[in-house]
Structure 1
Amino acid sequence: MSGRLAGATMLVTGGGSGIGRAVVHAYLSEGAEVTVLERSPDHAAALCSETDGAVEAVVGDATDPSTVQHAVTVARRGGDGLDHLTCCVGVFDYCTSLKDLKAGDLLAAGEEIWRANVLSTLLAINLAYPALRAAHGSATLTLSGSAFYPEGGGVLYGSSKWALRGAVAHLAKDLAPEVRVNAVAPGGTGGTRLGGLRALAQAQTADRVPGRDERIQAGTALRITPQPRDHASAYVYLADPAGARVITGAIINSDGGRM
Structure 2
Amino acid sequence: MHSPKAKALYDHVDFLRNLINGRLAKGPREEESFPCYAKRSLKLNDGKDWSFLCSGMDLIGDTSLSLDHFLRFGMEGVSRYNEVGEKYLRLYGALNSTYIQQEAVFTICKLCQLSEQSAFRDRLEKLEIRDIRHKLGAHSIDYIDKQKEDVLSFVPVRFDMRGLHLNYINNNDLSQISVNLLSGINEHLDLMSDIIYATLEKIKKTLYKSNPDKIEEIDKGLEELRVKRAGGHVFDHEDGTRAIFSPVAENI
Normalised TM-score (structure 2):
0.31
Normalised TM-score (structure 1):
0.30
Q: Over alpha carbons, which structure has the higher Rg?
A: 2
